[in-house]
């Protein structure tokens, strides 16, 4: 029952490897499954005993067909990847086992299969999510293109709203796993000395399901897109074309993937720590993953349930979200935001973890206030379930509860503040090395500060009356998510990337990437606060002519962000393909266990299970207070 | 340089910058804060925004200055040597103070927000049974805002239930908006009046506003409502009372035949057919 | 892999991404229905429109209700929903209403607004409002305050037209109205009748898609 | 050089502690139960929310009463099935027989639910209650079918271990039993949900 020790298979020729259970087979079966499902859906409508359920299926649009198509398509995809082989074996009574395609002898093909090696899955995640991040980013650029002029349309109003929805869904759906997918899967087992995640097959499943979800979302363009944005408010969604089915299917798959990913991380951390790795010795990044995992595990199912109701409304004629037929538009708002607000912290928390994890390494000091940081993360996680109605301050729902939600929302800034004070304390009298990962962390602190400060205006019910639903709130969450999470992800990419991939990044290009991204990020999103205050609502295809100057500035600046991202891509391709330099084992003099392993890290991670006997940040020198500042010179 | 020195310098720098920034924001930036002086509620929001801005500026400046100070004072000139700082794992006094101060700020903000909110509702939608009604709310002029894809229409229960395509309001009057929708969720946002209330199908959402002097204000839909969401904007007008009275009488006469076909005034409407056609 | 083949791989990858992006923008994002202009007549520009319960058989959505641009004699059916009109001019619009009655969601929309004289010609008779239950469609330009209710033939009328193109021999009502165009710019028009068959509350689908019950007015 | 040397060295990889996987199974099923609880509680929320709001008095449109007989039959088969699986946990040697009974009854419950749907006499469009009824039972039945699969794997494993010594040697009894306990834990939770469903949708209505 170890995760290891599969004998390396003999190498087969490349073409032979294409046959079998891999992503190619998956795609073929996905298409077949889609066609079968679509056809079946057409048949269902004509079954008399189902007439109660299919009576409203209108001409020209059969949502049952579309959903069945997606369902069987995804099943086909997973079957092609081999996800059903093991469950079928289990049905036949074969004993549990964990390993699949783990051996390095299988070569590159294992990156395109169900592989249970945690570092392979992490790399799959990194690349897969990167692709969708790129697509989401391109959509953002197209949104800004449309907003260059107040009332001349580059794209149609339908397409514009679809762009907005695709951008939001892609970023909120796919990027939610942006840290737990690549970095937790890669780092957490190494940090806690476990060699693998608790459920390696589920680990792979979450990745492939997420990829299927991304593709499903993109197919919305074949069905007329969706006009609801990523929040999918009802009953607007109920009246949408079949493109909204793609949104539902997408977020349901994402929800399942998120839930299982979080579960896997939580269980791994809870039960598979090597000897000596007590809870109080867990690296702070592991704590962040733990808190995030709990939120994912519990919040994502709410989303899946809300979407199931929406799907039933659209297929079998239930009326959950249809007022006047027994439903309520508030039901969706409640269910969605009970998921949606933890979701926001699911996106933010891993960033906290990365920044605090890197702080000791680059400040050369132990983490300041470890317990406070842990309390901050768990506190944010706990509070995040009690704040959701601040999204609904002006909705008219439970207005008497506004003072409570105002209080709870403002209280959540306390644990967030812990993270800041821990970072600030760690920097104090440190010896700060401004390597690229740390630059991104510093930028994180700056951006997230503005994100948090602007959140005060949104959490205060009186001032929220003006800022709600305006560009102000849009700027706010871009400061916390893009300025927070994305900067932290880039810190992680530059920090762990060389270790994960085995090659060094070009540092000069990396610094250009950082400075351009930092500057243009702020020049893009800071004016959006002003636009919101000036009365520009979110998601509009047209706006008052007097706001054109600011909008053009924002668009130009957004293109510069694209340019900055291209610098990153060039750096990536340059360092990976053109001029490949092998990475050192420990470029940052980190004392974290993963950096004590050779690069590339062998498949078995640790030959012997590590034993931990110290806290995770054994940095710094014990010196008398007077001598502590010696060496700071001049 | 001693450690005491660092503390004192940083703290002084933070305090001075924070005070300066707070004064600048409160006295230079805050007067221009939205949504302006178009109504009592709007003015109230400006006050709120000023308070929040002042506190935000103070806190943000302290943190930013601290970061800048630490970033410069403690930078390592020879990172390749990997020299290490002091092994300090925390300071319970500092942590306690941080917790104390931030909690104080947060509780003040929540308390202040609650007081302001309950005073006059701040122009926000507060559902069918508002608790934050301003004084004299029972005599307020009722205006029903009916949102539909993609247009607002306005219904006047105190003027024979007439419906109008544009919104004119009398000056210096307390208005009670009843916001509802006929299809999907919209949001009625009268920017200069500081009013925002979601329009939910089948539900009544009440928002109060005390108008001041005559002005033209922008009305936007602030909740994504489908295709023409971006085009769902128009102007509304606050006009002198006499002008308002003559306007609404004129509308009553003009739309008399169509008013007869309207359903009786209600806080929400459920026309049939409800289901898919 | 050799250096050259790696670079070739990168170049091919970038090219594929660019092509996909171009297809996305070119085929999907910028797709828009065509434009139709008003006909110049001695009495000024005249726009002829028609509404049908179902678009043509070859359409992307053949079951959707739709507006069409037609000739004065209801021939030459073009599925265009961007109407080009001259600025600051009184324009005459004639709508041949082939679709049957649906009834309004908000009866107030049954009042005529924003036309010259505040009335429309319904089969030659000037009216300032219609019975909301007889409304088949609305031609509204909310930005201009224009709201024209279009009465449709009853569902028991003779020789109803089921699908575009229809001819004047089908049951229809003719609505003519005149309105003054504003200055140059882009405006949008829409329908307010919940006429989208098969969609919840009759809204959504064609009601929420440019090219069917929505479009632009391009004033030049 | 060092890399070359280690490549030739015989690797002796220390196996992970044998208690990890059973513990992970134990923790995993509890976490998953938490997630499933949040999923299913959404329906309870929808039930009370729609019932309480109901602005147009259409919680029920027309005669909306699912057959109580089938409802009781479903509940009884669920409860007996859960009990049978508990017995399998208590006495592992009876897994094949008790688990088989549990599986059959769980599947029977799903079949009865399908029959119930086709003979409801009202459609999902008949108001808020009808929507919740249809939506909740659909979601619930998906869980029941998933549990059927899970119970089946436990029964099949026990069956194969009973007749094949080689299969028995592959994994420890502890892990297999932990798997069975996990399955039973989750199935009990799902059956408890079935009880809640019965109370709200049949008993209270």
Check CB contact under 8 Å for A364 and B56.
no
Strand partners, C97: C51, C173
pLDDT > 90 in chain B, percent: 72
Check CB contact under 8 Å for D55 and B202.
yes
Tens of pLDDT, residue by residue over A384-428, are 999 999 999 999 888 889 999 999 999 999 999 999 999 999 999
Beta-carbon pairs below 8 A across chains A and C: 77
D56 lies within 8 A of chain A by CB: yes
Check CB contact under 8 Å for A396 and B205.
yes
Selecting from 1.10.10.2160, 3.30.230.10, 2.60.40.420, 3.40.50.1000, what CATH number does the domain B140-261 have?
Answer: 2.60.40.420
Neighbours of chain D (3+ CB pairs under 8 A): A, B
Check CB contact under 8 Å for D24 and A299.
no
Tens of pLDDT, residue by residue over A82-136, are 999 999 999 998 888 887 777 766 677 889 989 999 999 999 999 999 999 999 9
Kindly tell me the number of DSSP H helices and DSSP E strands found in chain D: 7, 0
Q: Which of residues 150-179 of A touch C (CB under 8 A)?
A: 151-159, 163
Q: Kindly list the distances between the CA atom of residue B45 and the CA atoms of A395, A459, B35, B125, B234, in Å, as whole numbers in the listed order.
A: 18, 13, 7, 14, 22
Measured between CB atoms, which of A59, A235, A573 is closest to C200? A235
Q: Kindly list the distances between the CA atom of residue B90 and the CA atoms of A369, A426, B68, C15, D120, in Å, as whole numbers in the listed order.
A: 5, 8, 21, 53, 65
Check CB contact under 8 Å for D55 and B275.
no
pLDDT > 70 in chain A, percent: 93
Q: Which of residues 23-42 of C touch A (CB under 8 A)?
A: 24-25, 28-32
Domain boundaries, chain B: 3-73+97-123, 140-261
- Taking the C-alpha atoms of residue A591 and residue B195, their distance in angstroms, rounded to an integer, is 56
Tens of pLDDT, residue by residue over A4-41, are 444 445 556 667 777 888 899 999 999 999 999 998 88
Work out the minimum CA distance from D62 to partner chain B, whole angstroms. Answer: 15
User: Quick one: tokens of C12?
Assistant: 């091919």
Q: What is the pLDDT of residue A58?
A: 55
Contact between A415 and A375 (Cβ < 8 Å): yes
Check CB contact under 8 Å for B257 and C198.
no
Strands B186-190 and B174-181: unpaired
Check CB contact under 8 Å for B262 and C147.
no
Question: Which residues does chain B have within 8 Å of residue A417's beta carbon, measured at their own beta carbons?
Answer: 98, 102
pLDDT > 90 in chain A, percent: 71
> What residue of D is the nearest CA neighbor of B268?
D55
Mean pLDDT of B128-141: 89
Contact between D193 and D59 (Cβ < 8 Å): no
Per DSSP, the three-state class of A419 is helix
Residue D157 lies in a domain: yes
Total structural domains within chain D: 1
Work out the minimum CA distance from A41 to partner chain C, whole angstroms. Answer: 17
Measured between CB atoms, which of A1, A194, A316 is closest to D134? A316
Q: What is the pLDDT of residue A627?
A: 44
Question: Which residues does chain D have within 8 Å of residue B268's beta carbon, measured at their own beta carbons?
Answer: 55
Beta-carbon pairs below 8 A across chains B and D: 6
Identify the structural domains of chain A with CATH numbers, from first to last: 115-616 (1.20.210.10)
Q: B190 versus D124: which is more confidently predicted?
A: B190
Domain boundaries, chain C: 1-31, 34-219
Mean pLDDT of B124-136: 89
Question: Hey, of B120, B230, B271, B273, which one would you mutate to test binding to chain A, going by the most A CBs within 10 A of its CB?
Answer: B230
Work out the minimum CA distance from C108 to partner chain B, whole angstroms. Answer: 6
Cis amide bond preceding C73, omega within 30: no
Neighbours of chain B (3+ CB pairs under 8 A): A, C, D
B261 has pLDDT over 80: yes
Work out the minimum CA distance from D22 to partner chain A, whole angstroms. Answer: 9
pLDDT band at D173 (very low <50, low <70, confident <90, very high): confident
Q: Which of residues 109-128 of D touch A (CB under 8 A)?
A: 118, 120, 122-128
- Taking the C-alpha atoms of residue C23 and residue B42, their distance in angstroms, rounded to an integer, is 48
B222 lies within 8 A of chain A by CB: yes
Q: Kindly list the distances between the CA atom of residue A237 and the CA atoms of A247, A306, A403, C29, C203, in Å, as whole numbers in the listed order.
A: 9, 12, 30, 21, 11
A539 lies within 8 A of chain B by CB: yes
C2 lies within 8 A of chain B by CB: no
Q: Which of residues 203-262 of A touch B (CB under 8 A)?
A: 227-229, 231, 233-236, 239
Q: What is the mean pLDDT of chain B?
A: 90
Work out the minimum CA distance from C102 to partner chain A, whole angstroms. Answer: 16
B31 lies within 8 A of chain C by CB: no
Q: What is the pLDDT of residue A629?
A: 45
Residue D6 lies in a domain: no
C114 has pLDDT over 80: yes
Find the range with the poorest average confidence among A35-49, B39-53, C17-31: A35-49
C198 lies within 8 A of chain A by CB: yes
Q: How many CB atoms lie within 10 A of CB A136?
A: 22
Question: Hey, of D55, D58, D126, which one would you mutate to test binding to chain B, going by the most B CBs within 10 A of its CB?
Answer: D55
Give the CATH number of domain C34-219. 2.60.40.420
Tens of pLDDT, residue by residue over B77-89, are 888 888 888 898 8
D and C adjacent (3 or more CB pairs under 8 angstroms): no
Strand partners, B235: B218
A440 has pLDDT over 80: yes
Tens of pLDDT, residue by residue over A254-302, are 999 999 999 999 999 999 999 999 999 999 999 999 999 999 999 999 9
Query: Where in the sequence is the domain holding D127, given as residue range(s)?
Result: 78-205
Tens of pLDDT, residue by residue over C37-78, are 999 998 889 999 999 998 988 888 888 899 999 999 888 899
Q: What is the pLDDT of residue A281?
A: 92
A and C adjacent (3 or more CB pairs under 8 angstroms): yes
Q: What is the dihedral of CA A114, A118, A119, A121, to 10 degrees?
A: 40
User: Quick one: tokens of A98?
Assistant: 């964990």
pTM comes to 0.94
A553: Cα within 13 Å, side-chain hemisphere: 14
pLDDT band at D72 (very low <50, low <70, confident <90, very high): very high
Q: What is the pLDDT of residue A16?
A: 73
């Amino acid at each position: 029952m170890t995760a290891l020790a599969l004998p390396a298979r003999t190498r087969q020729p490349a073409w032979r490897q294409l046959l079998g259970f891999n992503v190619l087979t998956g795609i073929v079966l996905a298409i077949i499954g889609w066609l079968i499902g679509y056809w079946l859906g057409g048949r269902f409508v004509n079954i008399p005993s189902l007439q109660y359920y299919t009576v409203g299926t209108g001409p020209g649009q059969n949502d049952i067909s579309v959903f069945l198509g997606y369902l069987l398509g995804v099943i086909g995809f997973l079957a092609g990847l081999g996800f059903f082989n093991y469950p079928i074996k289990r049905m036949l009574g074969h004993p549990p086992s964990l390993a699949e395609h783990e051996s390095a002898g299988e070569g590159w093909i294992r990156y395109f299969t169900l592989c249970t090696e945690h570092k392979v899955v992490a790399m799959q995640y990194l690349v897969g999510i990167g692709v969708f991040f790129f697509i989401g980013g391109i959509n953002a650029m197209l949104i800004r293109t449309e907003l260059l002029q107040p009332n001349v349309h580059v794209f149609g109003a339908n397409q514009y709203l679809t762009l907005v929805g695709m951008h939001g869904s892609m970023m909120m759906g796919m990027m939610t796993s942006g840290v737990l997918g690549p970095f937790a899967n890669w780092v957490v087992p190494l940090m806690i000395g476990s060699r693998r995640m608790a459920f390696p097959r589920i680990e792979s499943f979450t990745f492939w399901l997420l990829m299927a979800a991304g593709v499903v979302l993109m197919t919305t363009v074949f069905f007329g897109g969706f006009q609801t944005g990523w929040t999918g408010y009802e009953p607007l969604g109920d009246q949408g074309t079949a493109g909204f089915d793609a949104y539902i299917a997408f977020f349901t798959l994402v929800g399942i993937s998120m839930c299982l990913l979080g579960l896997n991380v939580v269980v791994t951390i809870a039960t598979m720590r090597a000897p000596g790795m007590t809870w109080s010795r867990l690296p702070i990044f592991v704590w962040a993953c733990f808190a995030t995992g709990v939120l994912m595990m519990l919040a994502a199912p709410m989303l899946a349930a809300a979407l199931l109701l929406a799907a039933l409304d659209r297929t079998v004629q239930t009326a959950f979200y249809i007022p006047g037929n027994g439903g309520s538009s508030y039901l969706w708002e409640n269910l969605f935001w009970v998921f949606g607000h933890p979701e926001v912290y699911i996106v933010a928390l891993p960033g906290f973890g990365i920044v605090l994890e890197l702080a000791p390494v680059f400040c050369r000091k132990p983490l300041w206030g470890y317990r406070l940081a842990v309390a901050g993360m768990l506190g944010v996680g706990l509070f995040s379930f009690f704040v959701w109605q601040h999204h609904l301050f002006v909705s008219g729902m439970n207005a008497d509860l506004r003072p409570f939600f105002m209080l709870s929302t403002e209280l959540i800034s306390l644990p967030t503040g812990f993270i800041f004070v821990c970072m600030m304390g760690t920097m104090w009298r440190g010896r700060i090395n401004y390597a690229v990962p740390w630059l991104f962390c510093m930028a994180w602190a700056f951006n997230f500060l503005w994100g948090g400060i602007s959140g005060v205006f949104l959490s205060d019910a009186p001032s929220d009356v003006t800022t709600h639903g305006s560009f102000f709130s849009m700027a706010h969450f871009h400061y916390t998510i893009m300025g927070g999470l994305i900067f932290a992800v880039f810190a992680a990419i530059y920090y762990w990337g060389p270790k994960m991939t085995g090659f060094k990044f070009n540092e000069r290009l990396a610094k250009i990437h950082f400075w351009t991204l930092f500057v243009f990020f702020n020049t893009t999103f800071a004016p959006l606060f002003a636009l919101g205050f000036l009365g520009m609502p979110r998601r509009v295809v047209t706006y008052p002519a007097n706001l054109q100057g600011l909008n053009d500035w924002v668009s130009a600046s957004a293109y510069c962000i694209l340019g900055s991202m291209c610098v990153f891509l060039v750096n990536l391709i340059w360092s990976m393909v053109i001029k490949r330099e092998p990475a050192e084992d420990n470029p940052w003099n980190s004392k974290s266990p993963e950096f004590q392993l050779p690069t590339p890290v062998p498949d078995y991670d640790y030959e012997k299970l590590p034993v931990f006997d110290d806290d995770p940040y054994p940095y710094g020198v014990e010196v008398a207070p007077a001598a502590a500042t010696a060496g700071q010179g001049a | 340089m001693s450690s005491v020195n660092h503390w004192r310098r940083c703290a002084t720098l933070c305090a001075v910058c924070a005070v300066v920034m707070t004064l600048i924001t409160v006295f230079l930036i805050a007067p221009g804060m939205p949504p302006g002086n178009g109504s009592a509620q709007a003015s109230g929001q400006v006050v709120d925004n000023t308070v929040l801005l002042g506190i935000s500026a103070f806190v943000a400046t302290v943190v930013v200055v601290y970061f800048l100070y630490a970033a410069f004072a403690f930078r390592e000139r020879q990172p390749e040597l990997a020299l290490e700082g002091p092994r300090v794992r925390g300071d319970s006094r500092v942590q306690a103070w941080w917790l104390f101060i931030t909690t104080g700020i947060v509780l003040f903000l929540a308390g202040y927000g609650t007081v302001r909110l309950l005073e006059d509702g701040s122009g926000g939608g507060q559902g069918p049974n508002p608790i934050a009604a301003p004084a004299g709310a029972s005599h307020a002029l009722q205006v029903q805002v009916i949102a539909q894809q993609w247009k607002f229409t306005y219904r006047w229960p105190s003027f024979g239930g007439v419906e109008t395509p544009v919104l004119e309001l009398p000056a210096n009057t307390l208005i009670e908006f009843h916001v509802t929708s006929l299809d999907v969720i919209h949001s009625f946002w009268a920017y200069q009046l500081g009013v925002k209330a979601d329009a939910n199908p089948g539900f009544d959402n009440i928002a109060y506003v005390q108008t001041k002097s005559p002005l033209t204000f922008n009305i936007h839909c602030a909740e994504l409502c489908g295709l023409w969401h971006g085009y769902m904007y128009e102007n509304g007008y606050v006009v002198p009372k006499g002008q308002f009275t003559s306007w609404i009488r004129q509308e009553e006469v003009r739309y008399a035949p169509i008013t007869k076909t309207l359903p009786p005034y209600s806080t929400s409407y459920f026309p049939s057919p409800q289901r898919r056609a | 892999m050799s250096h050259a083949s790696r670079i070739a791989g990168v170049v091919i990858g970038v090219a594929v991404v660019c092509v996909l992006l171009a297809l996305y923008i070119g085929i999907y994002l910028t797709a828009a229905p065509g434009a139709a202009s008003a006909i110049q007549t001695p009495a000024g520009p005249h726009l002829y429109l028609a509404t049908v319960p179902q678009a043509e058989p070859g359409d992307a959505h053949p079951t959707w209700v739709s507006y069409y641009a037609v000739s004065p004699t209801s021939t030459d059916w073009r599925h265009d929903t961007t109407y080009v009109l001259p600025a600051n001019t009184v324009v005459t619009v004639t709508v041949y209403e082939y679709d049957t009655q649906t009834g309004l969601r908000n009866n107030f929309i049954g009042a005529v607004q924003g036309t010259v004289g505040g009335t429309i010609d319904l089969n030659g008779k000037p009216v300032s409002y219609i019975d909301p239950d007889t409304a088949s469609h609305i031609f509204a330009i909310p930005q201009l305050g224009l709201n024209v209710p279009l009465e449709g033939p009853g569902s028991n009328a003779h020789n109803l037209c089921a699908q575009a193109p229809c001819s004047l021999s089908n049951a229809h009502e003719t609505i003519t109205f005149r309105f003054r165009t504003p200055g140059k710019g882009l405006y949008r028009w829409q329908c307010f009748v919940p006429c989208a068959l098969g969609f919840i509350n009759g809204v959504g689908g064609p009601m929420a898609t440019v090219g069917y019950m929505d479009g632009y007015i391009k004033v030049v | 050089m060092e890399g070359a040397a280690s490549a030739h060295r015989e690797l002796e990889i220390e196996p992970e502690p044998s208690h990890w996987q059973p513990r992970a199974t134990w923790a995993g099923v509890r976490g998953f139960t938490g997630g499933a609880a949040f999923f299913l509680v959404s329906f309870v929320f929808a039930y009370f929310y729609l019932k309480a709001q109901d602005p147009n008095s259409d919680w029920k449109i027309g005669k909306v009463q699912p057959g109580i007989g089938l409802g009781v039959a479903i509940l009884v088969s669920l409860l007996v099935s859960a009990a049978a699986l508990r017995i399998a946990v208590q006495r592992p040697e009876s897994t094949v027989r008790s688990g088989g009974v549990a599986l059959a009854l769980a599947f029977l419950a799903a079949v009865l639910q399908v029959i119930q749907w086709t003979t409801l006499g009202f459609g999902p469009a008949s108001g808020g209650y009808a929507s919740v009824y249809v939506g909740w039972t659909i979601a619930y039945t998906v869980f029941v079918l998933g549990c059927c699969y899970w119970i089946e794997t436990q029964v099949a494993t026990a069956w194969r271990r009973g007749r094949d010594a080689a299969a028995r040697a592959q994994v420890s009894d502890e892990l297999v039993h932990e798997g069975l306990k996990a399955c039973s834990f989750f199935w009990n939770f799902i059956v408890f949900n079935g009880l809640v469903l019965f109370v709200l949708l049949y008993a209270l209505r």
